[in-house]
Amino acid sequence: MKTRADDFSGLTVAMITPFKEGKIDFDALQEQVEFQVAAGTTAVSPTGTTGESPTLTHEEQHEVIKKTVEFAAGRVKVLAGTGSNSTAEALSLSKYAESVGADALLVIGPYYNKPTQEGFYQHFKAIAQAVGVPICVYNVPGRTGKAIDADTIIRLAEFDNIAMVKDATGSMDSASRIIAATDLTVLSGDDSLTLPFMALGARGVVSVVGNFAPKDVVALCAAMNAGNLDEARALHQKLLPLSCGTLSLATNPIPVKKAMQLLGRDSGEMRLPMTELESAPTEKLRRLLVDYGLLAE
């Protein structure tokens, strides 16, 4: 069945924000975009959780989004993270991202203040009515402290430009209800659940491991969308140790940045309160990358 934003099917990479001596390293950011273009990635998503958006200033968020759009140059879509727990702030960021050419907006449910379901609805309604580009509702209760109920997301589907859901609830029931009741494009928010979510009718994943293993994630999504279940299962099993093992070591994006550093693709630098991965889990991460074939022994 055709969904509302089928052109976002496949792999969207939740990109890290590279830092060098405390500042954003735009040369490294450009290299990361080129890496994803070469891998056949559908979209890149800057300034999300993996991009350490909570520690970016508004000016830095603007610059990362603008530069990512420029570097992508239409070769890969840009799903810009523009969410906030303040509706006014999310509106401002969303309008800016649209103005500089972002293809769509990734808007997290308001965090910390724990709105009611009506509050979630009014928050996304305000943004949907203020911009023209597609919006992806990011439902991640593990980060925000409260889930956006399936009924609320189904209700939000009345707005044409609320087109996608990044579902990081881990709930098959919730995803099933949304898929059955709407034509929203559902994307898994967890790498390890890409295959089961797509079996329900999701169309892809917003991936963390796609930062360093995008080709296999692209292939997994393509196999599922083509109905090649045996191929998809094999790729799922191959990716599973990386998907589960990486993020079990520390809070995202700590192990992701360390993996990128080990692979020679990032400085590994983070901003407080995020700190560098400690030595013991670093060795476990190194072993995961070696066993996967990404890193030499």
**Single-letter amino acid, residue 115:** P
Give tens-digit pLDDT for 249-265. Answer: 999 999 999 999 999 99
Q: What is the average pLDDT value for the chain, to the nearest integer?
A: 97
- Tokens in use for 223? 């196999």
**Rounded to an integer, what distance in angstroms lies between the CA atom of residue 220 and that of residue 229?**
9
The predicted model gives 236-240 an average pLDDT of 97
pLDDT, residue 194, reads 98
The predicted model gives 5-32 an average pLDDT of 97
Q: Are 210 and 11 in contact (CB under 8 A)?
A: yes
SS (H, E, C) 38-65: HHCCCEEECCCCCCCHHHCCHHHHHHHH
Q: State if pTM tops 0.75.
A: yes
Residue from 138, 146, 258, 292 carrying the catalytic annotation: 138
Residue from 66, 77, 166, 257 carrying the catalytic annotation: 166
> CA neighbours within 13 Å on the CB side: how many for 11?
27
The predicted model gives 181-201 an average pLDDT of 97
Active site residue 114: no
Kindly indicate the confidence band of residue 297, based on its pLDDT and cuts at 50, 70 and 90: confident
Q: Are 43 and 67 in contact (CB under 8 A)?
A: no
**Rounded to an integer, what distance in angstroms lies between the CA atom of residue 205 and that of residue 22?**
30
What domains does the chain contain, in order, with CATH numbers? 6-228 (3.20.20.70)
CA-CA-CA-CA torsion for 79, 83, 89, 94, nearest 10 degrees? 20
SS (H, E, C) the chain: CCCCCHHHCEEEEECCCCEECCEECHHHHHHHHHHHHHHCCCEEECCCCCCCHHHCCHHHHHHHHHHHHHHHCCCCEEEEECCCCCHHHHHHHHHHHHHCCCCEEEEECCCCCCCCHHHHHHHHHHHHHHCCCCEEEEECHHHHCCCCCHHHHHHHCCCCCEEEEEECCCCHHHHHHHHHHCCCEEEECCHHHHHHHHHHCCCEEEECHHHCCHHHHHHHHHHHHHCCHHHHHHHHHHHHHHHHHHHCCCCCCHHHHHHHHHCCCCCCCCCCCCCCCCHHHHHHHHHHHHHHCCCCC
Q: Are 4 and 35 in contact (CB under 8 A)?
A: no
Active site residue 112: no
Give tens-digit pLDDT for 64-93. Answer: 999 999 999 999 999 999 999 999 999 999
The predicted model gives 114-143 an average pLDDT of 97
pLDDT, residue 221, reads 98
Kindly indicate the confidence band of residue 1, based on its pLDDT and cuts at 50, 70 and 90: confident
pLDDT, residue 10, reads 97
